[in-house]
Amino acid sequence: MLVIISLGIIILGGFSTDKEIPSTEVELGKTLFFDPILSSDQSISCASCHKPEHGFADTSTFSIGVNNKMTTRNTPSVKNVLSRSLFFWDGRASTLEEQALMPITNPDEMNLPLETAIRRLTESKLYKKAFNDIYKRDPDEKTLATAISAYERTLESSYTPFDLYMEGNEDAISESAKKGRDIFVGKANCFECHFGPDFTQDELLNIGIYNTKQFNDEGLGNITKNQSDNGKFKVPSLRNVAKTAPYMHNGMFKTLREVINYYDNPESVIHDPVNVSERLTKPLKLTEVEKDDLEAFLISLSDK
C-alpha cells in the first residue's frame, strides 16, 4: 500500500487522514476517478486523460499511459454519458460499468489487473471503510465499476448558450450561431447523425477516415470481424465540443474549422476511402461565411 508522509499528513491508498471518507456512492466514484491508485505505477488516474477543464477529454492527440505508453486513439469525453448505450470509439462496451473498468486493465493506459486493484483498495483502511459503509462489503469489481460509473453519470451539461436559447433567451447565442443552426440541420446535414439532446444517438459510422493504407484503424470491424464494419466509429456527442479538441478517433483535426472543412469535402482530405457512409459521398459546398456560422453554432453547445 502506498504510504507518503509529507508535511505531517499521511496518505494511505489515495486518502489523506485530514480528509473525510466519501459517504455516498458518487463521492466515492469521484475520489476513485481522481486517484492514481488504480494505475500500475500509481502515476495516472482516470482524470489524467479525462481532464475536467477540457470537457473531460484530453488535449493531446493520444494520451500517455503508464510507462509513457501512448494510446492508439484519441481520448473521448466522459461527459453527457447518462443516456448513452455504447462506449469507446468502437462501441465495445454497452454499459458505463463495463467502460469504467476497461481503462484500468488496458496495458496502454493504467495497466493494472483488476485483482491487484481490488487488493489495493481492500488494503487501504480508508477505502475499505468507504466501501463497507456504502455497499456493506469489501471492495470488489462490481462495486468499483458501480462507484466510478455513478460519478460519471453526474457529468451532465444542459446550460449551454444553445440550451438557454431554446428556453427562450434570444440573446443567448449570436445571429451567426442562429444561422449556423439552420445550416446544421439543413445544408450541412449534420443533424442526420448528431441529433437528440446530446447530439448523438450512439450510431457507428464510417465517415471516410479509413482507406486501408495510412488510415487503417478498423474500428468496429476489429470487434465484429465483419469487413463491412471496417472504419466504423461511434458518432460522438457535440456537447462541449469546443473544449474537446483534437477531434476524430485519431485526433487528426486540431480545430473545429478543420472538422468543418473535412465534412465539406472529405475526399479532398483522404483519398480512396473504403466503406464510407453514403451520407458523405457528396461535397457540401459550404461558403466561408456558412462555415463561420456553423462553427459559431457548434461553439454555442459548450457550457462553462
pLDDT over 50 (residue 182): yes
Which superfamily does 3-152 belong to?
Cytochrome c-like domain (1.10.760.10)
H/E element holding 205? Answer: strand 204-205
The whole-number average pLDDT for the span 281-296 is 96
The CATH topology of domain 161-299 is: Cytochrome Bc1 Complex; Chain D, domain 2 (1.10.760)
Confidence at 10, pLDDT banded by 50, 70, 90: very low
Say what percent of the chain tops pLDDT 90.
Answer: 90
What are the CA-CA distances from residue 11 to residues 116, 178, 277 (Å)?
A: 19, 51, 52
Same-fold call for 3-152 versus 161-299: yes
pLDDT at 201: 86
Q: What is the 3-state secondary structure (H, E, C) of 75-121?
A: CCCCCCCCCCCCECCCCCECCHHHHHHHHHHCCCCCCCCHHHHHHHH
pLDDT over 50 (residue 29): yes
The whole-number average pLDDT for the span 224-237 is 97
Confidence at 17, pLDDT banded by 50, 70, 90: very low
Q: Are 104 and 117 in contact (CB under 8 A)?
A: yes
Q: Are 11 and 1 in contact (CB under 8 A)?
A: no
pLDDT at 61: 96
Distance, CA of 2 to CA of 10 (rounded, Å)? 10
pLDDT at 281: 84
The whole-number average pLDDT for the span 124-153 is 97
pLDDT over 50 (residue 7): no
The whole-number average pLDDT for the span 121-140 is 97
pLDDT at 101: 98
Based on the number of CB atoms within 10 Å of its own CB, is 3 exposed (0-12), middle (13-18) or buried (19 or more)? exposed
pLDDT at 19: 61
pLDDT in tens, 249-284: 999 999 999 999 999 999 999 999 999 999 998 999
pLDDT over 90 (residue 6): no
pLDDT over 70 (residue 18): no
Based on the number of CB atoms within 10 Å of its own CB, is 74 exposed (0-12), middle (13-18) or buried (19 or more)? buried
Kindly list the domain boundaries of the chain, sorted by start residue: 3-152, 161-299
Distance, CA of 274 to CA of 267 (rounded, Å)? 11
pLDDT in tens, 95-119: 999 999 999 999 999 999 999 999 9
Mean pLDDT of the chain: 93
Residue 225 has a CB neighbour count (10 Å cut-off) of 9
Phi-psi region of 44 (alpha: psi -120 to 50; beta: other; left: phi over 0): beta
Confidence at 11, pLDDT banded by 50, 70, 90: very low
pLDDT over 70 (residue 8): no
pLDDT over 60 (residue 1): no
pLDDT over 70 (residue 86): yes
